[in-house]
């Protein structure tokens, strides 16, 4: 059948007057790669435009054309009729994984040329995983976690697991006493506090590195007389849900960690099934240069993740594109069952039953909560809701800022600003966090639906 496909591809190319040489066929677990070199004078853009013709001739939903490849040839990736399941054990028992020198090896799967694909999380330094529902994101996270757990001891690696769905990462609660820096977090409020604790740990580690005159965790751990610092990996499954409930604060905390934490051995892996521009914002993309795209529903979603189309043409079931900088690699992700994860966690629990892990994340001190009581001195102003929506995107505002950005006159701007304070959207001078004599006040509410409900309640 593959021989027939090879001849069919040649026939389609010849029908469009594209002559080739060095035609090669490489069968992978999910797709077969057909490599060839076009004759001089053939425009590569003409070959790229034949996706639909080739797919129709080969009787497959879609093909992916890579032109040009690293060696200058053109590649056509065609889905296999009978795909093979790539077991996690094949990856863990491979020579590449057993003999790797990577700090945080992520053994993900096999490329279309059947090579074991591994990447170092310490070099990425953070990873964004995205794709439509049911395309293999959660299995992919388990594969990465398993490859880390099989290579690192609890003294070398600690995990912070945030799982808003409450079902995907709960299996790892068995290794809480050894690898986990805290219990598996399921509530958005707890997630926000834990990310703040990670920020505090990051600042402490920077001070520690500065005190001994080194630049990163690798240099620090090479000093013979110091206690070695473990790597910390923060994993967030369904980041989009956290953003929808916690808003900008969650994104700001994640971006702060992503910007600075690499040197002190703190790395992040975030996953989302909603790869829209409102979830995967410019800030997230700038701080997560390494990304994995599983199959997406549209080319627009693919562009959000990879800055290019292609993910919508994947075949699903772990078929993915690994994006690092400008390079993309198509990979079939390994498959790990929940039973295998459970068995690994039980083995770890037995092996490190007597292990005493040091506490690396400090609990946030509970501060006295200031409860604002709404007391309006006048009916809701007609411009208050519109101004509140503008203010919601800021961290702090002043009366002058409101006047300029809402284009209200002096009297209306003052009334609206005072009403935002009375409603509790902007902090009052009675707040314990208010800075005396400061013109700027912190914005306390960022969720526009919540703001709308509050204003409608008092209208």
Chain-centroid distance, C-alpha 51: 30
Checking if the pLDDT of 309 tops 80, the result is: yes
- Report the distance separating Cα 288 and Cα 323, nearest Å: 10
Q: Name, in order, each residue with C-beta under 8 angstroms of 140's C-beta and a sequence gap of 6 or more.
A: 108, 129, 271, 292, 294, 318, 320, 333
In sequence order, which ranges of 310-398 are alpha helices (DSSP H)?
A: 338-351, 384-391
Out of 4-13, 283-292, 340-349, 367-376, pick the least confident: 367-376
What pLDDT is stored for residue 437 in this prediction? 66
- Report the distance separating Cα 297 and Cα 348, nearest Å: 38
- Report the distance separating Cα 89 and Cα 366, nearest Å: 45
Confidence class of residue 372 from pLDDT cuts 50, 70 and 90? low
Cβ pair 232, 198 in contact under 8 A: yes
Confidence class of residue 428 from pLDDT cuts 50, 70 and 90? confident
Confidence class of residue 147 from pLDDT cuts 50, 70 and 90? very high
- Report the distance separating Cα 177 and Cα 322, nearest Å: 33
The burial of 118, by beta-carbon neighbours within 10 Å (0-12 exposed, 13-18 middle, 19 or more buried), is given as middle
- Report the distance separating Cα 180 and Cα 345, nearest Å: 12
φ, ψ of residue 371 to 5 degrees: the values are: -100, 120
Checking if the pLDDT of 362 tops 90, the result is: no
Checking if the pLDDT of 188 tops 90, the result is: no
pLDDT top residue among 76 and 440: 76
Residues in the chain: 459
pLDDT top residue among 252 and 217: 217
Cβ pair 130, 311 in contact under 8 A: no
Nearest to 250 by CA among 264, 238, 261: 238
pLDDT top residue among 203 and 368: 203
pLDDT, average across residues 194-202: 90
pTM, rounded to two decimals: 0.75
Tokens 């070959």 — which residue? 47
Strands (E), 125-193: 127-130, 157-162
At 48 the three-state DSSP class reads helix
Checking if the pLDDT of 233 tops 90, the result is: yes
pLDDT (tens digit, 9 = 90+) per residue, 27-37? Answer: 888 888 898 88
Mean pLDDT, all residues of the chain = 86
């Amino acid at each position: 059948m593959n021989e027939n496909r090879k001849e069919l591809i040649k026939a389609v190319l010849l029908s469009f007057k594209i002559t080739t040489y060095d035609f090669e066929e490489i069968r992978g677990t999910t797709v077969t790669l057909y490599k060839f070199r076009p004759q001089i004078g053939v425009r590569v853009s003409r070959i790229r435009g034949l996706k639909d013709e080739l797919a129709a001739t080969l009787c497959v939903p879609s093909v992916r054309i890579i032109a040009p490849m690293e060696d200058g040839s053109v590649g056509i990736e065609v889905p296999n009729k009978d795909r093979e399941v790539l077991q996690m054990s094949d990856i863990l028992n491979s020579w590449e994984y057993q003999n790797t020198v990577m700090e945080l090896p992520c053994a993900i799967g096999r490329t279309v040329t059947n090579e074991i694909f591994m990447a170092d999380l310490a070099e990425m330094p953070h990873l964004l995983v995205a794709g439509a529902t049911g395309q293999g994101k959660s299995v992919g996270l388990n594969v990465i976690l398993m490859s880390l757990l099989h290579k690192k001891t609890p003294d070398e690696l600690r995990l912070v697991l945030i799982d808003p769905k409450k079902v995907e990462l709960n299996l790892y609660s068995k290794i809480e006493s050894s690898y986990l820096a805290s219990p598996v977090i399921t509530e958005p409020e707890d997630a926000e506090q834990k990310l703040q604790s990670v920020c505090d740990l990051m600042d402490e580690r920077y001070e520690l590195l500065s005190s001994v005159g080194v630049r990163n965790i690798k240099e620090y751990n090479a000093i013979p007389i110091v206690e070695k610092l473990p790597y910390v990996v923060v994993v967030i499954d369904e980041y989009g849900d956290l953003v929808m409930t916690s808003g900008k604060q969650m994104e700001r905390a994640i971006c702060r960690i992503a910007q600075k934490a690499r040197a002190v051995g703190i790395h992040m892996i975030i996953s989302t099934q909603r790869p829209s521009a409102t979830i995967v914002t410019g800030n997230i993309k700038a701080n997560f240069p390494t990304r994995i795209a599983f199959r997406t529903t549209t080319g627009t979603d693919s562009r959000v993740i990879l800055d290019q189309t292609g993910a919508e043409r994947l075949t699903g079931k772990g078929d993915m594109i690994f994006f690092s900088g400008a390079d993309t690699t198509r990979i079939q992700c390994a498959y790990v069952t929940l039973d295998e994860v459970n068995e690994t966690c039980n083995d770890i629990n037995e092996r490190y039953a007597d292990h005493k892990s040091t506490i690396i994340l400090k609990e946030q001190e509970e501060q006295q909560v200031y409860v604002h009581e709404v007391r309006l001195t006048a009916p809701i102003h007609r411009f208050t809701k519109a101004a509140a929506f503008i203010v919601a995107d800021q961290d702090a505002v002043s009366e002058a800022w409101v006047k300029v950005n809402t284009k209200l006159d002096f009297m209306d701007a003052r009334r609206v600003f005072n009403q935002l304070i009375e409603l509790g959207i902007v902090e009052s001078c009675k707040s314990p966090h208010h800075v005396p004599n400061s013109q700027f006040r912190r914005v306390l509410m960022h969720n526009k639906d919540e703001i709308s409900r509050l204003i409608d309640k008092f209208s």
